[in-house]
Amino acid sequence: MVVREFLIEGMSCAGCAMRIEKTFGERPDVAVASVNFAARTLMIETTMSDSEIAVIVGQLGYKAVPGDAEEELAAAELREIRVALNRLIWAVVFAFPVFVLGMFSIHFPGSNWIQFLLTTVVLAWPGRKFFVNATKLARSLDANMDTLIAVGTAAAYFYSVWLLVFQNVHHYYFESAAVIVALVLVGKYLEERARQGASMAVRSLMALQPEQALVVENIDSTVTRAVGVKLVKMCELVMVRAGDRVPVDGIVRKGSSHVDASLVTGESVPVVALEDTIVQAGSLNLSGVLIIETQAVGAASVLGRIISTVKHAIGTKAPIQRYADKVAAVFVPIVFLLASLTFLGWLLLGNSFSESLIPAVAVLVVACPCALGLATPTAMLVATGRAARNGMLIKDASSLEVLHKASVVVFDKTGTLTEGRPVVVREHWTVKSLCLQRNTILAAVRALEQQSSHPLARAVVLHASLPSHLGSENVLPVLVSNVVELPGMGISGSLYDVNKSHTIHVGRLPESLEANISQFFPDLSVRAGMSLVPIALDGEPVLIFEVQDALRSEAQEAVSALRANGVKPIMATGDRASIAERVAEELGIEFFAEMTPSGKAELVQKYRNEGLIVVMVGDGINDAPALAVADVGMALGGGADAAIATAAITLRESSILKVAEAIALSHETFRTIRQNLFWAFAYNVVLIPVAMSGYLTPMLAAGAMAFSSLFVVGNALRLR
């Protein structure tokens, strides 16, 4: 048997995925069949050919495209979102005149036929998918909201047609059928947009790996040949130029550089890459040229494993089934049964066919799921609009349904709880500095570091440029010559002052000096999480900077707000334990350090397996797997594209105070949804018996249905 992958087009719900899996699972020539609804892919191990598989999927009402699903997915999503938008636009265009004519009882010659024609177009074109899906489900004796919509609109439509042809009346129910379709298509369009987040996350991660690698024949060769990354072999030598991303996992065999490895570690400070250093695919080479011996390619690389983790997490995360869908499978048969019993009962009581039909149609009309269909989408629509105005972009509205039950929030550290960039927090001077003005030394340090590629150089330059240092004595810019930088050692140059030359060095000191650093700086107390940047003048230490990634100003308040609502905050980071411990102590929270991307995802899954609802908050590529696994993923707006694409909620203002605010909004939204659903169901329970007894005509049923819908919409608008 051979494993094949297909892109599946046309699925509208998780039930579609289950139908496809069930169909293939019952065949003896299929070993395994797994459908990922979020990514819209079918993985199947079988002896069947691609064409045979495509035919079976086609018979179920879907389309199977063989090959690399990732390459097809973007085009398919673009088509589907365009189709969903077109359906919505045309449904509104045709339904609006019907709504005006019907609801305001506007009558003129031919107005009834205009309503008939426009409603026919709405049901046959934009609303056609509801009837197609309802038919598919009926064949397997199943039902969902599409079935309810198809039944309700069909009842209103065909009864109106009967009145139009056989009865001389002025009131019809075309507007009920047309408006229901238009309103539900609003929700369908929003759901279609949300569905794209899964594959966007995968594509954002895949974009981090270059399509080609520059392969060299030997370690001293400068001649390269471009090879597709998937074709690079183990132990082949690959050249990575400054500014390029590393295409494979490997070991540096020649060269030195600084590499941004935040993809794996999450650390804000890039690492020094020297000979025998291990580097990962997707890391960014910041300075020198590296020759790397390939150790892992594609799916076997660290980046490949991150992509696989995200795809698996998105595919296996249980979708939130709306309350309306849960009850639909039972509600639809009951409504059909009650309508049939009503018709037969009135016939048996001696009434005519038309007299018996009226209460039966009233049952179907009053059971029409307008309020039921609006209960959740309207609340979600208003809540997401309010969230957007307050800096929270909610891509997956269903996340609001679960967020109110959050019991654990897992924070990334770097860039989430901290600013994500190193800053100088303290400086220490020695008496040696008296031979030059301090601001002259700082000016020289600034001139040197402006030419440095070291990741801490920017922090030093910003600190040395403060007005408090240079503005008070109005020192002119210092000229530094003979600049030399050695990766891992620091940067040096020559400084001239009053016809005297000084050598100034920023970076690592000789071992003999570093061992006795406390003699030069007696007030220096090295704390966990601090990076030290020493400056030597003529070979002797004169200044040392303490550099750290500072906590966000709102971090303490955000953690306190979560605790006040009974939510446990936790920190998970790829940073060293000493750095993580300092941040955790300041915030008073539990922490996990030196975690890989998959380790973070496993931690989140562990809490979920314990029955807890977990929110993951992060900003980096290395957070993407955990964001995908979590019940609700939140990404900071200034974070990596892959994190933003994977998360259900993006905090546009990059303020983690919004985490508690989003949870509070979820509480309000869920309370409103429950109120709406209670009203919608209570309305049906009360009015269906009234319709069966004949006291509720189809016209009154349509009016009651409209009132119920207005109540639901009005209740949802209170969320604003």
Nearest-angstrom CA–CA distance, 247 and 228: 10
Amino acid at 438: R
Give burial (CB, 10 Å; 0-12/13-18/19+) of 170: exposed
User: Strand pairing partners for 504?
Assistant: 493, 537
Q: What is the torsional sign of CA 597, 598, 603, 605?
A: positive
- Annotation marks residue 631 as catalytic: no
State the DSSP code for 425: E
Nearest-angstrom CA–CA distance, 601 and 183: 38
Question: CA-based diameter of the chain, in Å?
Answer: 121
List the structure tokens of 220: 């001293």
Plot region of 598 (φ>0 → left; ψ -120 to 50 → alpha; else → beta): alpha
Nearest-angstrom CA–CA distance, 571 and 336: 53
Residue from 515, 587, 506 nearest 547 by CA: 506
Q: Count CA atoms closer than 13 A to 466's CA, side-chain side.
A: 11
Site of tokens 């390459």: 71
List the structure tokens of 110: 């031919």
User: Strand pairing partners for 409?
Assistant: 569, 615
Show Cβ contacts of residue 546 under 8 Å, excluding neighbours closer than 6 positions.
Answer: 424, 425, 426, 427, 428, 527, 530, 531, 532
List the structure tokens of 641: 């594209």
**Which 3 state secondary structure label does DSSP give 213?**
strand
Q: What is the torsional sign of CA 186, 191, 197, 203?
A: negative
Q: Please count the helices (runs of H) and the strands (runs of E) in the chain.
A: 25, 26
Q: What is the DSSP string of 562-585?
A: HHHTT-EEEEE-SS-HHHHHHHHH
CB 437 within 8 A of CB 473: yes
Q: Single out the catalytic residue among 249, 325, 396, 412.
A: 412
For 97-105, the CB contacts below 8 A with 24+ separation are 98/122, 98/174, 98/175, 98/178, 98/179, 99/175, 99/178, 99/179, 101/175, 102/171, 102/172, 102/173, 102/174, 102/175, 102/176, 103/175, 103/706, 105/170, 105/171
Show Cβ contacts of residue 418 under 8 Å, excluding neighbours closer than 6 positions.
Answer: 268, 549, 550, 551, 552, 555, 583
Nearest-angstrom CA–CA distance, 470 and 478: 11
278 φ, ψ (degrees, to nearest 5): -90, 130
Nearest-angstrom CA–CA distance, 242 and 536: 29
User: Strand pairing partners for 30?
Assistant: 46
Q: Exposed e or buried b for every residue in 665-693, given b needs 16+ CB within 10 A?
A: bbebbbebbebbbebbbebbeebbebbbe
Residue from 649, 527, 513, 635 nearest 578 by CA: 527
Nearest-angstrom CA–CA distance, 141 and 637: 45
Nearest-angstrom CA–CA distance, 349 and 317: 54
List the structure tokens of 106: 């506007």
Q: Which residues have a catalytic role annotated?
A: 412
